[in-house]
Amino acid sequence: MSSSVLKSFVIDIHRLKFEKNQFEFNLNNEIFQSIEDSMVEKGNIKSVLVLDKSDSMIKATFSNVGTVELICDRTLKPFDFQINTKNTIFYKFSDHYEEVSDEITLIDSHESMLDFLNPIYEFVVLAIPIKKIHPDFRRPEDDDLDDNMLIYSSVSNVEEATDANIDILDPRWEALKKLKDSL
């Protein structure tokens, strides 16, 4: 991959105006494949980055729209998945570099260049569901499940999963229940 393409994601933050500065990037197959251990190999994402610079920080707003190719977990059939995200990171000027949280990063006030490829890529990857099901094979119950919910039981209705039937479903919980009762 051309280093000039990757360098286009690096922005000289000292030359930014003290107002909103807008940049547009396109993530394509070549860029996704150039990222080491990438979860996405094919896709086409248009990313709009708005940098709002002040004396003490830069507010970076990332808007990503497009599609990535995913592989269905059930059928291994590829399909296009729509991405539409909007995220914000605050880069605060400091005397050192530190990621304070997902939304706040301290950067050295003498730092002149910031590479925005990694945060753009991370926001795209975070939009991908844990359970990747091809639209042709989705069942109505797939839509009812929260992608972040972990399922440890075969009970379809969460309200049915009372302490009584958890014991029936999985006898391994009996030892933990005995330990809990002894306390």
For 159-176, the pLDDT digits (tens) are 555 554 544 556 677 777
Per-residue tokens: 97: 């570099």
- Residues 32 and 89 placed together within one structural domain of the fold: yes
Query: Residue 148's pLDDT is what?
Result: 47
Q: pLDDT by residue (tens digit) across 126-161?
A: 999 988 888 888 766 555 555 444 444 444 555 555
One domain, residues 105 and 164: no
Whether residues 69 and 155 share a domain: the answer is: no
**Beta partners for 76?**
none
Q: Which residue segment(s) compose the domain that 54 sits in?
A: 3-136
Task: Please check the confidence at residue 56 and state whether its pLDDT lies above 80.
Answer: yes
Question: Do residue 107 and residue 158 come from a single domain?
Answer: no
Structural domain count, the chain: 2
Condensed to tens digits (0 to 9), the pLDDT of residues 69-98 reads 999 988 899 999 999 999 999 999 988 888
Residue 141 lies inside a defined structural domain of this protein: no
Distance CA 116, CA 41 (A): 19
The percentage of residues in the chain with a pLDDT greater than 70, rounded to a whole number, is 79
Q: How far from 122 is each of 32, 35, 40, 62, 116, CA to CA, in Å?
A: 11, 11, 11, 11, 10
Residues 119 and 162 in one domain: no
Instruction: Please tell me the predicted confidence (pLDDT) of residue 140.
Output: 64
Mean per-residue pLDDT, 25-50? 89
Instruction: Assess whether 165 and 84 both reside in one domain.
Output: no
Q: Place 6 in a pLDDT band, splitting at 50, 70 and 90.
A: low
Is 53 contained in some domain? Answer: yes
- Give percent above pLDDT 90 in the chain: 32
